[in-house]
Amino acid sequence: MQCSNCGAALQPGMKFCTTCGTPVTASEPVAANAATGPTSRLTQGGNGGSDFYQQSGQRLDLPDPQVIASGEGKTGMDYQIVGTTMQAVIIQLEPGQTIFSETGGMAWMSGNMIMNTNAGGGGGLGSMLGGMLKRAVSGESLFIVDYTVQGGRGLVSFASEFPGKIIPLHLGPGQSMIMQRDAFMCAEKTVSLEMHFRRNLGSGIFGGEGFIMQRVTGPGVAFAELDGEIVEYTLEPGQVLKVDTGHVAMFEPTVQFDIEMVRGFRNILFGGEGLFLATLRGPGRVWLQTMPAMNLAKKIANYLPRTNNGGGSQGGLGNLGNLGNFFGND
């Protein structure tokens, strides 16, 4: 039985809708066969749908996660990005279509999906060793994994490792995008993945994400995992955006990325923003992330138990002090 006003599910014996408050009228009779036994109330998340109930001993049907985006790749593969805070991309492949990722990236897949771990490069031994060396220098996994399907349609999914957003990048032939290291999730086989060295050594040392970034080039669809919420800016030629290091998630190759020292002795000593800021100079688009993983790690580290001079961890009232800091400080 459903509410005549908002359509929410009504349980037997309810006098009014718990979602909108509409009274249950005689035209909406109570079901004759009321279920027996205890009832568990579950709240649907995502798009804010109504509550629903699961009767003891009956089939449990949880709501599907909210679909944030969907589309089709260059090779014809279909994808859906689901979830809100911890997202996942679910990709459906037909025979002849291939998705690749770094090792350890897959979350789940259908039984007819075939994995092929390789060194990449697509050529002879020299090309494979070169690809492995590049990935080793950039701190990535040495191997990549190709996912293909046999015997009909299949699916493979990749899940976020950190609260944030999964961004689908529909790249044209020769079109590139530069992103922070570890942002790459997976891509169609037509997309090339390579490391990108920052132009300025200082930007690599003090830029918050290291000297090496990742560069994907089309044609095809690639998926990037960025931290927190994402804010996009379009910079005109010569226009400059100054950003706290680590918040730079992704930018177009036309954007010049550099590092400059914070000006003013008092700003450096008391400003609390560090010695350096990232400068992004247009033209081009940039994408900033609101919660870099490193910033969150530093914040959490303040509340972790610390070792005393004797080498043991601080316990007892010391840990209560950490809890007090957690609830009392911003």
Which residue ranges form the domains of the chain, and what is each CATH number? 1-61 (no CATH), 67-226 (3.60.160.10), 294-328 (no CATH)
Distances (CA, A) of 150 to 97, 102, 111, 114, 117: 10, 21, 10, 7, 17
For residue 54, give the H/E element and its range. Answer: strand 52-55
pTM for the model: 0.72
Q: pLDDT over 70 for what percent of the chain? A: 65
What proportions of the chain, in percent to the nearest 5, are helix, strand and coil? Answer: 15, 40, 50
pLDDT at 2: 74
Q: Are 195 and 133 in contact (CB under 8 A)?
A: no
Tokens of 186: 């997976």
For residue 63, give the H/E element and its range. Answer: none
What is the C-alpha to C-alpha distance for residues 208 and 12, in angstroms, rounded to an integer?
A: 57
Q: Is the peptide bond before 283 cis (omega within 30 degrees of 0)?
A: yes
Phi/psi of residue 280, nearest 5 degrees:
-115, 120
Mean pLDDT for the stretch of residues 241-267: 81
Q: Are 245 and 275 in contact (CB under 8 A)?
A: no
pLDDT at 35: 41
**Residue 125: pLDDT over 90:** no
